[in-house]
A = this chain, B = another copy of it.
Amino acid sequence: MADHSEFNIGELAREFGVTTRTIRHYEEIGLLQPMRRGQARIYSPADRTRLKLILRGKRLGFSLDESRAIVDLYDPARGNKEQLQALLARIQQQRDKLNAQLTDIKQMLSSLDDAEESCRKALKKARKQEKKQTKTQANKKGKT
B residues near A98, Cβ cutoff 8 Å: 105, 108-109, 112
A61 to chain B, nearest CB (A): 2
A-B contact pairs, 30 of them (CB 8 A): A58-B61, A59-B100, A59-B101, A59-B104, A60-B61, A60-B101, A60-B104, A61-B62, A73-B112, A73-B115, A74-B114, A74-B115, A76-B119, A80-B126, A81-B126, A81-B127, A81-B130, A84-B119, A84-B122, A85-B123, A87-B119, A88-B120, A91-B116, A91-B119, A94-B108, A98-B105, A98-B112, A99-B109, A101-B105, A102-B105
A95 lies within 8 A of chain B by Cβ: yes
Number of copies: 2
C-alpha gap A84/B91 in the complex (Å): 44
**Are A123 and B81 neighbours in the complex by a CB distance under 8 Å?**
yes
In the assembled complex, how far is the CB of residue A76 from the closest CB belonging to chain B, in whole angstroms? 8
Instruction: Determine which of B59, B95, B115, B130 lies in contact with A61 in the assembled complex, contact meaning CB atoms within 8 Å.
Output: B59
**Complexed CA–CA distance, A39 and B73 (Å):** 49
Does A8 make an interface contact (CB < 8 A)?
Answer: no
Q: Answer whether residue A111 sits at the interface, using C-beta atoms and an 8 A cutoff.
A: yes
A105 engages B73 (CB within 8 Å): no
Q: CB-nearest residue of chain B relative to A63? A: B61
Contact across chains for B61 and A104 when beta carbons are under 8 A apart: no
Q: How far is the CA of A127 from the CA of B101 in the complex (A)?
A: 35
Residue numbers in B under 8 Å from A122 (CB-CB): 78, 84
